[in-house]
């Protein structure tokens, strides 16, 4: 007589990432020491092609958390009664592993400086839209902390930064990604901190453009 199937175990996920060549020996040790479940709240959703499906029960929660899938952690910017659009998630472990590999972090490579803004401000939905257009290729993940939030940002060229509320910013890789993010924030602030409803998207045969308040006000990518 067979019992009910067990939920996937986190070590199996780490082993799979390592077998796929996504984790170096040092990053594998970090993944093994810090399970993904520490950063995932109790109420989550699975992202389906056409909707977000609530995850019910501990076994279903573990199955999703210990898989190589994104975990939706917030809908509609936290406002009840919305259409059910994912506005925050815990990223796919394989994507996180790839970004960490691109950072090429070694002892002594990090650069610390005072933060010019609270990283919690980066979670503003309007800013996410603005920064997505100004800083293409930049990805952000975050977790809540007792003091506020901690964020990790990376770019396809290997640039990266991590910042937590009340602490210094650490930057890695080429360029000064955090300075570019701060500059984008002050541009957004100067524009009146527009909410998501003031942004639009124009799609043509030649590409797509995000605009603010009108199709003629296209948000151009920065030079970073």
| Domain end residue (candidates: 75, 103, 131) | 103
Q: What is the mean pLDDT of residues 173-198?
A: 92
- Stretch 140-157: mean pLDDT, rounded? 87
Do 94 and 21 fall within a single domain? Answer: yes
- In angstroms, the CA 164 to CA 150 distance is 4
- Residue range 139-151: mean pLDDT, rounded: 87
Instruction: Say if residue 141 is in the same domain as residue 177.
Output: yes
The answer to whether residues 179 and 196 touch, using CB atoms and an 8 Å cutoff, is no
Question: pLDDT tens, 109-129?
Answer: 678 888 888 999 999 889 999
Tell me, yes or no, whether 217 lies in a domain: no
Domain count, the chain: 2
- Asked if the structure places residue 120 within a domain, the reply is yes
Tell me, yes or no, whether 218 lies in a domain.
Answer: no
- Whether residues 125 and 64 share a domain: the answer is no
Which residue range(s) make up the domain with 33?
A: 1-103
On whether residue 91 sits in a domain, the answer given is yes
Which of 79, 103, 127 is the last residue in one of the domains? 103
Strands 52-54 and 45-47, bridge-based pairing: antiparallel
223 located within any domain: no
Does one domain contain both 65 and 158? no
């Amino acid at each position: 007589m067979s019992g009910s199937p067990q939920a996937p175990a986190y070590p199996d996920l780490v082993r799979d990432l390592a077998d796929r060549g996504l984790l170096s020996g040092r990053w594998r040790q970090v993944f093994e020491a810090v399970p993904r479940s520490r950063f995932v709240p109790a109420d989550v959703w699975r992202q389906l092609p056409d909707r977000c499906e609530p995850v019910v029960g501990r076994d279903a929660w573990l199955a999703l958390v210990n898989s190589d899938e994104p975990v939706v952690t917030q809908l509609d910017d936290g406002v009840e009664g919305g259409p059910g659009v994912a506005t925050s998630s815990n990223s796919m472990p394989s994507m996180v592993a790839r970004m960490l590999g691109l950072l090429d972090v070694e002892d002594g490579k990090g650069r610390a400086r005072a933060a010019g803004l609270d990283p919690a401000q980066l979670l503003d939905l309007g800013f996410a839209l603005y920064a997505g257009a100004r800083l293409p290729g930049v990805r952000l993940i975050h977790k809540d902390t007792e003091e506020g939030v901690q964020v990790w940002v990376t770019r396809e060229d290997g640039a990266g930064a991590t910042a937590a509320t009340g602490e210094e910013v650490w930057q890695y890789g080429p360029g000064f990604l955090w300075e570019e993010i701060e500059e984008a924030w002050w541009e957004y602030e100067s524009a009146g901190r527009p909410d998501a409803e003031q942004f639009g998207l124009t799609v043509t045969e030649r590409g797509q453009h995000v605009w603010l308040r009108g199709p003629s006000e296209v948000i151009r990518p920065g030079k970073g």
